[in-house]
Structure 1
Amino acid sequence: MSLVLAAALALGLTACGGSTSAGNDDRPVVLTTFTVLADVAKNVAGDKLRVESITKVGAEIHGYEPTPGDIRKAAQADLILDNGLNLEVWFQQFVEGLDVPHAVVSEGVEPMPIAEDSYKGKPNPHAWMSPSNVQIYADNMAKAFAKLDPANAAVFEANASAYKAKLQEVKDYLASELKALPVQQRALVSCEGAFSYLTRDVGLKEVYIWAVNAEQQATPQQIARAIEYVKEHKVPAVFCESTVSNAPMMQVVEASGAKFGGVLYVDSLSEADGPVPTYLDLIRHDARTIAGALTGKTS
């Protein structure tokens, strides 16, 4: 840990000892590592807790570098939630030194390993891209919130139950829409391998150009492999994530004859007036985009 971060941690710890407050808001503070978790947590917490995210809307969470202010904020929280599955490696350098309760919301999720590249064999961290997994997240949050605020345990459980029902609707919709798709065409072809859990949910094969968020341009071999799969299996549409360039996938489109099915959202929510201001907006958008493009119900 750098001297700057260590100093910030020391300052933060001296300030710890109770909830932070915003004005007259004295509710316990729950701090999450990124915006998707914050939104899910808000649905489970209702108005009983104050939920905040360390990273901002649009932030790249894989390689995020925490600031001294982030550490002070974490030290003053009443509960910290992170995704786990090696997503927030940047967070682990200081969370163990904080005297703050901590919960990993992916606990209980069946991990899926990354299939290739330097991360081969490590768990794919994108578990929140599965409505089924986020149902587990919601239950884990409700349990952690009940420990933090036992008087409202029943509220958290009820909120989680209602939220899980909405998630189930998304999963059921996507699975139902894809039933008419020929077996060989049941593939989700995207730029990054961020959809392992979603494809497992609904019986699709995951195909991608690169396995993990690319730090450099896609190789000709990676693009050629995707082209070959799309052509061989007559996959009608391909996709790309909002946080990366779709240029490599457009090469797949040109060479294979598949349509570009649209942009998918993964790592971050949008601003309130954007396309995916909540997690339900995000997963519904992705489900509609995937189903519409693969079945031909959208142009």
Structure 2
Amino acid sequence: MNPATRFPRRTFIAFATLALTALSAQAQASIQAVASFSILGDLVRQVGGDRVQVNVLVGPGSDAHVFQPTPAQARLVGQAQVVFSNGLGFEGWMSRLLKTAGYKGQQVVVSQGIQPIQEAGHKGHKHGGHDHGETDPHAWQSVGNAKVFVKNIAQGLCRADAAGCEVYERNAKAYVAKLEALDSEIRAAWAPIPAAQRKVITSHDAFGYYARDFSVKFLAPQGVSTESEASPKGVARLVRQIKQEQIKALFVESISDPRLIAQIGRETGVKPSGELFSDSLSAADGAAPTYIDMMRFNTRVLTTAVRGE
């Protein structure tokens, strides 16, 4: 039978119109969200799903510590219904950006409710308007903190889009289950390694929460901001410590200038073990395109390096 005789033109047009109307309604229902940096952007996408369009200000491979918003990004923020930031002093440029954009929508600081680590020995870093004080802002390096982020993201999306709240809460619950499995996976990876052997050198002090959760000692020539400068005296002290404690794991971060780590490697005779992702995800085709990928990748290369493999 000819398909045209089974579906008259008038009926086909009616179905097509209904489909287009549904698609249009779905597009209109899409929430416009802005996330400050790539790691947070992934978490918002996990909770928001297809219902939320997420725009990221500081994309993969870029450094939020030294970010300078453009007029186009200010316009993007001005059009958003909800803006997500890390807080804890990480985005020192955010308040100026919101003011420039004339932003009146929902603001969500995802670290709300987290007990921050206070950085002893890094007294009040303030560089170019990026004031970290003594607080370590890299809270996402704890999987437990990421679960708090997800809860705050879901609540923020529910406030911005009450009709989609059930979807956001369901997505958040499913993703938290994945994070709990990830946390167990990381603990299992470190379990066979003696505590005395768990020592790592990185570019800047970005892994304090990971160190606390998984009992790993991280040392860095720079403080919690990549804008802080490593002093010659501090680098010399670090070189002596690496030699004395026979530390084998030496890493540069994806957002950092590799020259300082290369210098430390030359002076200690320790070959750099590769790259870690601290403040940024990789591109989609890289090693760490999502938060879970990032934590798995970092754990794999860290445990391999401290074992001396």
TM-score scaled by length of structure 1: 0.84
Residue 146 (structure 2) pairs with residue 146 (structure 1): no
Residue 114 (structure 2) pairs with residue 112 (structure 1): no
Whether the 8 Å contact between 1:85 and 1:106 is mirrored in structure 2 is: yes
Q: Against the structure 1 CA distance between its residues 169 and 250, is the aligned structure 2 distance closer, same or farther, given a 3 Å change threshold?
A: farther
Distance, in Å, in 1 between the alignment partners of 2:228 and 2:33 is 35
Q: Against the structure 1 CA distance between its residues 255 and 65, is the aligned structure 2 distance closer, same or farther, given a 3 Å change threshold?
A: closer
Distance, in Å, in 2 between the alignment partners of 1:125 and 1:243 is 16
Specify the structure having the higher radius of gyration (Cα).
2
Comparing 128-137 and 240-249, the one that deviates more = 240-249
**3-state SS of the aligned residue for 2:66?**
coil
Q: Against the structure 1 CA distance between its residues 172 and 225, is the aligned structure 2 distance closer, same or farther, given a 3 Å change threshold?
A: farther
Q: How many residues align?
A: 276
1:53 alignment partner, one of 32, 52, 56: 56
Q: Shift of residue 285 of structure 1?
A: 1.0
Comparing 40-49 and 145-154, the one that deviates more = 145-154
**3-state SS of the aligned residue for 1:260?**
coil
Q: Against the structure 1 CA distance between its residues 224 and 168, is the aligned structure 2 distance closer, same or farther, given a 3 Å change threshold?
A: farther
2:79 alignment partner, one of 76, 81, 101: 76
Q: Against the structure 1 CA distance between its residues 131 and 216, is the aligned structure 2 distance closer, same or farther, given a 3 Å change threshold?
A: closer
2:146 alignment partner, one of 126, 131, 134: 134
| Residue segments in structure 2 that go unaligned for 5+ positions in a row | 1-23, 126-131
Residue 114 (structure 2) pairs with residue 103 (structure 1): no
Q: CA RMSD in A?
A: 2.4
2:176 alignment partner, one of 157, 164, 169: 164
Residue 243 (structure 2) pairs with residue 241 (structure 1): no
Distance, in Å, in 1 between the alignment partners of 2:112 and 2:182 is 22
Q: Which residue identity does 2:115 align to in structure 1? A: E
Q: Against the structure 1 CA distance between its residues 30 and 214, is the aligned structure 2 distance closer, same or farther, given a 3 Å change threshold?
A: closer
Distance, in Å, in 2 between the alignment partners of 1:158 and 1:286 is 28
Q: Which residue identity does 1:224 align to in structure 2? A: A
Distance, in Å, in 2 between the alignment partners of 1:35 and 1:178 is 27
Whether the 8 Å contact between 2:251 and 2:273 is mirrored in structure 1 is: yes
Matching residue of 1:25: 27
Q: Shift of residue 156 of structure 1?
A: 1.3
Distance, in Å, in 2 between the alignment partners of 1:118 and 1:138 is 29
Matching residue of 1:12: none
**3-state SS of the aligned residue for 2:117?**
coil
**3-state SS of the aligned residue for 2:83?**
strand
Q: Shift of residue 257 of structure 1?
A: 4.6
Distance, in Å, in 1 between the alignment partners of 2:95 and 2:174 is 32
Q: Which residue identity does 2:207 align to in structure 1? A: F
